[in-house]
Amino acid sequence: MELKGKVVWITGGANGIGAAVARRLAGLGARPVLCDVDVERGEALAAELDTLFVRCDVREPADSVRAVEAAVERFGGLDVAFLNAGVSTGCDLGEGFDPEVYRRAMAINLDGVVYGVHAALPALRARGGGDIVLTGSMGGLAPMPYEPVYAANKAAVVALARSLGPAYEEEGIRVNALCPSFADTDILTRLRDFLGDFPILDVETVVDAFLTLLASGTTGQAWPVVPGREFEPFRFRGVPGPRV
């Protein structure tokens, strides 16, 4: 995929996977537009990459709309939306349950993705098509007994990508979910005690996967990113249909 001049909106763009993708895209001649609640790091990275930072709390629908409008005003349009902002929870559904932590995680990891898609669609349609990449997780494809809320909202993100892919395919808008296993970012802070010797992904491997996904031209797929495995769409088993 030719990325030179492409405008890419990145939520959660000040740190971790979002920042790494932004750096790689800028090096390939794209125009990353960084959004985050971490203003200090976001502005510093935008200055480093000579691009635009917009403070955006993905829990607020109007923030995503303003971010897209800023991208269009500064760079003339939008080609890719990378809806990547996410948090872990550290709570279970028993004695450790905290309704505020639960609502915050659902608001960022799921609502923020929904609001981001809604905000990006008009700009992508004005461009004649484009890509929406949702950051899911292997936790959306496999059980996470120690992070059930995170697994639940990431499973919803995977389902959203699979449903939106065919919904917008005729408009030239592709929607896919990038599903890394445990990558070396701040989100692992609460999980390291559970992981032991489990292999951790280098963030640059996730960036490679992101670029491969964009170049694939596919839609409605979930793409696992797992150490030592070939990067390809997950093959979901067919669900049983009705019997007549």
Check the CA dihedral 124-35-183-162 and report its sign.
Answer: negative
The distance between the two most distant Cα atoms of the chain, rounded to a whole number of Å, is 62
What is the DSSP secondary structure assignment for residue 201, as one 8-state letter?
Answer: B
* Under 8 Å between Cβ of 48 and 40: no
Q: Tell me the angle at which helices 112-126 and 148-168 cross, rounded to the nearest 10 degrees.
A: 20
* Under 8 Å between Cβ of 80 and 8: yes
Query: Which residues are known to be catalytic?
Result: 150
Q: Measured between alpha carbons, how far is residue 107 from residues 10, 86, 104 in Å?
A: 17, 9, 5
Return the structure tokens found at 156.
């919803």
Nearest to 210 by CA among 11, 24, 2: 24
* Under 8 Å between Cβ of 112 and 85: yes
